[in-house]
Amino acid sequence: TGKCYHTLRGHTAEIVCLSFNLQSTLVATGSMDSTAKLWDVEKGEEVATLRGHSAEIIALAFNTTGDKIITGSFDHTVAIWDVVTGREQNVLDKMPTNNNVVAKYELQKNDPYLSLQLWNAMTGTHIATLTGHRNEVLDVCFDFTGQRIVTASADGSARVYNAETKECIAKLEGHGGEISRVS
């Protein structure tokens, strides 16, 4: 119908990312104001404000069970939050998702382009480095089962990796320019 059910207000700067939980009962928003907010979709009300980052939140996602939200910030950290309490549970320094695995793209000293780094979100242990793009990686996401990871790159391609073996199982090409988002 195109009817607007709710207008969510509360951030003091632009919203740059958002994500629904799998049940579509909550939506999370990340903002240039360095906070993330959780919203009740049905009521249109703020449930929690997640504070802890010192810079803009540029990426966020719920885990597959919906009890955690992971935020990535320009402060070069990834934070894992408890959805029920709104409390920060873990911060991964210089490290967005599967239940316990976080993917982050960061510049490697020996690689002029960006690589994808996989981390265990609960322990902070580095799992793997995924490479192959000819230009920087601009986005990454897991499928809902946590079995595949897809990357978007400024080289105009997307790659699909097997999350268990860390092998590239598909290279998707055909865009004339960069791919900035994947889902």
**Counts of helices then strands in the chain (DSSP H, E):** 0, 15
Q: What is the pLDDT of residue 99?
A: 44
Higher-scoring residue by pLDDT: 144, 71: 71
H/E stretch holding 51: strand 45-51
pLDDT higher than threshold 50 for residue 166: yes
Q: How many CA atoms lie within 13 A of 8 on its CB side?
A: 25
Domain boundary among 92, 126, 144: 92
Read off the pLDDT of residues 100-117 as tens digits, 9 standing for 90 and up: 445 544 444 445 446 787
Mean pLDDT of 50-56: 94
The contacts found for 131-139 with CB under 8 angstroms, 24 or more apart, are 132/159, 132/168, 132/171, 133/157, 133/159, 135/178, 136/105, 137/105, 137/113, 138/105, 138/178, 138/179, 138/180, 138/181, 139/179, 139/180, 139/181, 139/182
Containing domain of residue 117, as a range?
102-173
Is 146 found in the same domain as 117? yes
Is 144 found in the same domain as 76? no
Residue 56's pLDDT band (cuts 50, 70, 90): very high
Q: What is the pLDDT of residue 156?
A: 94
Residue 173's pLDDT band (cuts 50, 70, 90): very high
Rounded to whole angstroms, the Cα distance separating 120 from 33 reads 27
Find residue 38's DSSP bridge partners: 28, 48
Is 86 found in the same domain as 20? yes
Is 134 found in the same domain as 87? no
Rounded to whole angstroms, the Cα distance separating 96 from 131 reads 17
User: Domain containing 159 — which CATH number?
Assistant: 2.40.10
H/E stretch holding 168: strand 168-172
Is 142 found in the same domain as 83? no
Q: What is the pLDDT of residue 96?
A: 38
Q: What is the pLDDT of residue 170?
A: 96
Full-model pTM: 0.67
Higher-scoring residue by pLDDT: 31, 95: 31
Mean pLDDT of the chain: 84
Q: What is the pLDDT of residue 114?
A: 61
H/E stretch holding 29: strand 26-31
CA angle 35, 38, 42 (to 5 degrees): 150
Q: What is the pLDDT of residue 93?
A: 64
Report the percent of the chain where pLDDT is more than 90: 43
